[in-house]
Amino acid sequence: MMELDTKIASRQRWFSFKRKQRTSKLQKKETIAGFLFVFPMLAGVSVLTLFPIVATFVLSFTKWNFIAGFEELEWIGFDNLRNLLGDNVFRKSLLNNSIFMFTVPICMAVSLFLAIIINKKVYMKDYFKVAFFMPYISSVVAIAVVWQVLFHPSAGPVNETLRAFGIENPPLWIADPQFALISLMIIHIWISIGFNMIIYIAGLQAIPKDLYEAADIDGANGWMKFRKITFPMLSPTSFFLLVTGIIATFKVFDLVAVLTKGGPLHSTSMIVWYLYETAFVNLNIGYASSMALVLFFFVLLITVLQWIGQKKWVNY
């Protein structure tokens, strides 16, 4: 009897071993198949994203003109970063980027106001959603040309309107160093409002109606409901738009390239534009890479500060 039990136990162990062996082979095949499916994406990310990032970090410590080839590549250490500290154009570009960030809270406030109105008080909501969203999906070059006509110093509709209201010497807008950056900020806000508004409308529609009904029973007015219900419930949406909006302000390039090319007198020069000029006009790849390195850490620092600060006002 004991011998029979031993044979049965031995056979069960053998079957269990074979089952695990087949399962292991199947898992290996699935792993290989999954890796083959993911490989094209990994290769693309590595070649188009990771490799350029690593190359930028390395080249930021060199002096190199890429037309001359790798033979002319010279390691200079932190000289590029030291030169940036004394570069007036770079400091002006960094200041312009810092000022340009103020477009984000302004755009968010206007977008939230429009979203609340359209979500509650307006007929033909779909029409207004599309109308406000159109600038965001339109060609930036086309938008820039339209605003170039609107801001024309002598014959533009904006200045003609100001003259009609009695302002004899209206601003030159894009042609004026004092108003050029403000002009770009106005255009950027006009472009971005539609996207922010759509995101806010989606957030408003996700707020439970029971909260507003309870507030009505308690006698809360519109401002109290906004301050105690709407704004806190929209805080994750606001945090998303704040982070993405600030990152977007550091990537402004097309408006500058079409309208001002960094002028007049570098009044609209941004870090990305100055980086482009340094790399592809002056052909100084090492110096441009050091700008990209500073820009990377600057955006990273702002994002980390936002992520730390969101714990005090974002309600999930």
How confident is the model over 123-160, as pLDDT tens digits?
788 888 888 999 999 988 899 999 999 998 888 899 99
What is the C-alpha to C-alpha distance for residues 246 and 116, in angstroms, rounded to an integer? 23
Structure tokens at 137: 């999906």
What is the C-alpha to C-alpha distance for residues 273 and 154, in angstroms, rounded to an integer? 28
Is this prediction's pTM over 0.95?
no
The terminus-to-terminus CA distance of the chain in angstroms comes to 65
> Of 139, 143, 245, 251, nearest to 195 (Cα)?
245
pLDDT at 200: 94
Give the count of alpha carbons within 13 A of 1, CB side only.
Answer: 0
What is the C-alpha to C-alpha distance for residues 238 and 107, in angstroms, rounded to an integer? 11
| Architecture of the domain delimited by 101-269 | Orthogonal Bundle (1.10)
Task: Evaluate if residue 104 carries a pLDDT over 90.
Answer: yes
Structure tokens at 109: 């406030």
Q: Which helix (H) or strand (E) holds 62?
A: strand 62-63
CB atoms within 10 A of CB 158: 18
Task: Evaluate if residue 315 carries a pLDDT over 80.
Answer: no
Q: Which helix (H) or strand (E) holds 12?
A: helix 2-45
Q: Which helix (H) or strand (E) holds 52?
A: helix 51-59
